[in-house]
Chains A and B, each alone.
Chain A
Amino acid sequence: MRNIFPVLTVTAALIAFWYAAVIPMNAQWAQDQARRAGTELGFAALVTDTMTQARPRLPAPHQVAHELWNSTVVEEMTGRRGFMNTGSLSNRSLIYHGWVTLSATLLGFAIGSALGIALAVGIVHNRAMDASVMPWAIASQTIPILAIAPMIIVVLNAVGITGLVPKAIISTYLSFFPVVVGMVKGLRAPDQMQLDLMKTYSASGPQIFAKLRWPSAMPYLFASLKVAIAAALVGAIVAELPTGASAGLGARLLSGSYFGQTLQIWAALFAAAILAAGMVALIGLIQRITLKRMGMAV
């Protein structure tokens, strides 16, 4: 609780900066409208106008908050297609679209983490994999995801795989990498003395892994999982962009930009940010509980 004050200060400063930027960004449109109507805008009227436009160049914070509220709680509670009226989530609500993206993110994150851990175990235990896998893993991350995502989706579509899985695969593509890097470092964290100690017990390979390497790697694992889940979310959103997906936060971003719905874009962006923050916080919580039980609480 001690750091709540600095956090609030920074947040307040950012919001103030945002409001200040709204006025010049939207002033042009407001003045054009006034000129067309043959009226003159005073400063107060100008400020009011820049913060209440329906399709502003830069929406004000309260407009984004209002749109977020409307497209989640209000839509599900009172909307014609909302949850209260139909018993299923409305396809106009960010809860529905968020869930579509989240499910692909979680599946991709699970596959990516498992793949990352498996590759790291291989790299640490096998000389050939040590020499060959890492350069490929690094090379895979130098290809822009925006370039490769449409190809993956088109190819998978051609073999009849559609829906959740292609998006999850792109999430996997982005999320395995931080796990590989972190876990290779973590599994190599034991020093020579700790390995010598295991040798004096003539411990087997699996015993060294289970009793020394794996527990040593725990702090590294959680650090990389936090990066990986954020990357998985980015992957799922990017996967929704190029194919004109009809659902998901990426689809909301895309349709928002087609129709100039800046409010919708910003609301979807914030929904994604909230989702990412929530998932990272959840992993942080699991990390704290696990490390505390291991006696390594920070």
Chain B
Amino acid sequence: MRDTVTAPVISARDLNLTFQTADGPVHALKDVTLEIAKGEFVSFIGPSGCGKTTFLRVIADLERPTSGTITVNGMSPEAARKARAYGYVFQAAGLYPWRTIAGNVNLPLEIMGYSREEQATRVEKVLALVELENFARKFPWQLSGGMQQRASIARALAFDADILLMDEPFGALDEIVRDRLNEQLLALWARTEKTIGFVTHSIPEAVYLSTKIVVMSPRPGRITDVIDSPLPRERPLEIRDSPEFIEIAHRVREGLRAGHLDD
């Protein structure tokens, strides 16, 4: 809701993406138009095949759109990627088993050529941010799934990207761990003021986290509704029982159902 006057961080116009597969073309994205302002927390929600992950990958320059325009920080996605404009968190933590937790978080810093002292201070800082400071010397297999995912978030935060793209980061975790990580993620977002793009297929997760919820539907993948959340930025877990929360969740559910009517 805030910062609507400044230039958008991500701006997509009439974006189309068609994959050529053995079974013929698959229309993964159709006429996607969306603006994301600085500091927003945007969730993409929809059933599988709706293009939510594909859209995130287009932002990250991991896929190229077939037509349409998209800018990230006012640049093409490729230029933004080369300028290291974003950190990306994948569905699986994907930590390197031969590196310690600190070594994994240090990986992007090594690649980007930070000095040794800078590396050490940054690793220490982001590990504290995700509450893993006591596990720096452990190897990934010594940590639980939730802790591994936190380490992968730390890895995405270690360098100075002001955009954080997260592709169902908590999808493989159980409800209790997920609640805890959602709370921590909100706290982290408040502290770092990053712009976050977050793919999920959980309605409560999307409503709880987001300032903006993008509802998508499949075949072809498209946006069916964009909901600006009226919830305050400060959100205790109990907010999920409030009438406003339930109302937004209801609207998201309606949007998802509408997308399925034409099946």
> A residues engaging B (CB < 8 A)?
193-194, 196-203, 207, 211-212, 215, 218, 294-296
Within 8 A of A (CB), among B69-106: 81-82, 84, 86-88, 90-92, 94, 96-100
> Beta-carbon contacts of B110-135 to A below 8 Å, as 1s and 0s?
11100000000000000000000000
Contact flag A211-B110 (CB < 8 Å), given A201-B84, A202-B81? yes
Chain B residues near A203 (CB, 8 Å)? 111
Is the beta-carbon distance between B112 and A215 smaller than 8 angstroms?
no
Chain A residues near B108 (CB, 8 Å)? 201
Chain A residues near B84 (CB, 8 Å)? 201-202
Instruction: Please tell me which one of the listed residues B62, B107, B139 contacts residue A211 in the complex, with CB atoms under 8 A apart.
Output: B107
B60 at the interface (CB under 8 A from A): yes
Is the beta-carbon distance between B81 and A295 smaller than 8 angstroms?
no
A293 to chain B, nearest CB (A): 9
Chain A residues near B112 (CB, 8 Å)? 201
Is the beta-carbon distance between A295 and B110 smaller than 8 angstroms?
no
What are 27 A-B interface contacts by the 8 Å CB criterion? A193-B90, A193-B91, A193-B92, A193-B94, A194-B94, A196-B88, A196-B90, A197-B88, A199-B81, A200-B81, A200-B86, A201-B107, A201-B108, A201-B111, A201-B112, A202-B82, A202-B84, A203-B111, A211-B107, A211-B110, A211-B111, A212-B96, A215-B96, A215-B98, A218-B98, A295-B97, A295-B141
Instruction: Please tell me which one of the listed residues A200, A207, A218, A295 contacts residue B60 in the complex, with CB atoms under 8 A apart.
Output: A200
Chain A residues near B87 (CB, 8 Å)? 200
Q: How far is the CA of A199 from the CA of B108 in the complex (A)?
A: 11
Q: How far is the CA of A91 from the CA of B111 in the complex (A)?
A: 56
Instruction: Please tell me which one of the listed residues A198, A199, A295 contacts residue B99 in the complex, with CB atoms under 8 A apart.
Output: A295
Chain B residues near A212 (CB, 8 Å)? 96
| Residue count of chain B within 8 Å CB distance of chain A | 25
Q: How far is the CA of A211 from the CA of B108 in the complex (A)?
A: 10
Contact flag A295-B139 (CB < 8 Å), given A193-B92, A196-B90? yes
Chain A residues near B61 (CB, 8 Å)? 199
Chain B residues near A294 (CB, 8 Å)? 97-98
Chain A residues near B110 (CB, 8 Å)? 211
Which chain A residue shows the least CB distance to B96? A215
Is the beta-carbon distance between B62 and A199 smaller than 8 angstroms?
yes
Q: How far is the CA of A218 from the CA of B99 in the complex (A)?
A: 13
Is the beta-carbon distance between B92 and A295 smaller than 8 angstroms?
no
Chain B residues near A194 (CB, 8 Å)? 94, 96
Q: How far is the CA of A212 from the CA of B103 in the complex (A)?
A: 13
Q: How far is the CA of A203 from the CA of B90 in the complex (A)?
A: 17
Q: How far is the CA of A215 from the CA of B139 in the complex (A)?
A: 15
Q: How far is the CA of A98 from the CA of B229 in the complex (A)?
A: 79
Instruction: Please tell me which one of the listed residues B100, B107, B111 contacts residue A295 in the complex, with CB atoms under 8 A apart.
Output: B100
> Beta-carbon contacts of B46-66 to A below 8 Å, as 1s and 0s?
000000000000001110000
Is the beta-carbon distance between B98 and A196 smaller than 8 angstroms?
no
A199 to chain B, nearest CB (A): 6
B104 to chain A, nearest CB (A): 10
Chain B residues near A198 (CB, 8 Å)? 111
Identify 13 new A-B residue pairs, CB closer than 8 A, beyond the known A199-B61, A296-B97.
A193-B94, A199-B62, A200-B62, A200-B87, A201-B107, A201-B108, A201-B111, A202-B81, A202-B82, A207-B111, A211-B107, A211-B111, A218-B98
Q: How far is the CA of A258 from the CA of B65 in the complex (A)?
A: 75
Q: How far is the CA of A200 from the CA of B82 in the complex (A)?
A: 8
Which chain A residue shows the least CB distance to B155? A197
